[in-house]
Amino acid sequence: MIKDINRYIDHTLLKANAREIDIVQLCEQAIKYNFYAVCVNPFYVELAKKILSKSNTKVCTVIGFPLGQNTTETKVFETHNAINNGADEIDVVINIPKLLEGDYNYLVNELKCIREVCTDNIVLKVIIETCYLDKDKIIDATKICEEIGANFVKTSTGFGTRGASIEDIVTIKNALSINSNVGIKASGGIKDRNFAEELIEAGATRLGTSSGVILMN
């Protein structure tokens, strides 16, 4: 059993019907279990930051979520706004059609613009949504993330056709340069401790899950 699995977990609530009371509960659970971060929609960043201000838990939010098809300018504004409201970590959805079309210049330019906003130790994770990609596209997306200086490659939004898989993690890990500092965030469908530990053993360094409490218990 992996020790300190709580410090891998981004305790997540991104549902459309999540109310303030639900975010408060999420943050209280994060404090209780000392999760690494909570992941909430941008509207709730200020609330989460306030609740977690005296804890070790970071505040993560999502940008261009869940489809990734906002304009670059919109994503950049969202990122600025989230950081100003207290976000410590940014999970941005890559432009999936541009990835599928092979327009890698667009992706590099967009992600560089967002990376430039993430100063002062703001962590940037890029969601590549592996459910829509073949192995070659996962490799290409991973290399783009590494090129633009992302801190993590993240597998999924949780709103696609499937979540993370062991194969995804292995593919991403093998696509990264030797001694790369880029982490891997597995997300989507992580509902039990065994699967969570398998993902970590395959190479995941962070887990995005709404089942953090279940994993701990």
Which residue is catalytic, options 10, 125, 154, 168?
A: 154
Q: Is 49 a catalytic residue?
A: no
* Preceding omega of 66 cis (within 30 degrees of 0): yes
Which residue is catalytic, options 49, 58, 125, 185?
A: 185
Q: What stretches of 4-147 adopt beta strand conformation (E)? A: 9-13, 37-40, 58-63, 89-93, 123-127
Which residue is catalytic, options 91, 125, 140, 168?
A: 91
Q: Do residues 131 and 161 make contact, with C-beta atoms less than 8 angstroms apart?
A: yes
Q: Is 91 a catalytic residue?
A: yes
Q: Is 112 a catalytic residue?
A: no
Q: Which residues pair with 37 in a beta bridge?
A: 10, 58
**Could you give the C-alpha distances from 193 to 170, 190, 202, in angstroms and in order?**
19, 8, 14
Residue numbers annotated as active site: 91, 154, 185
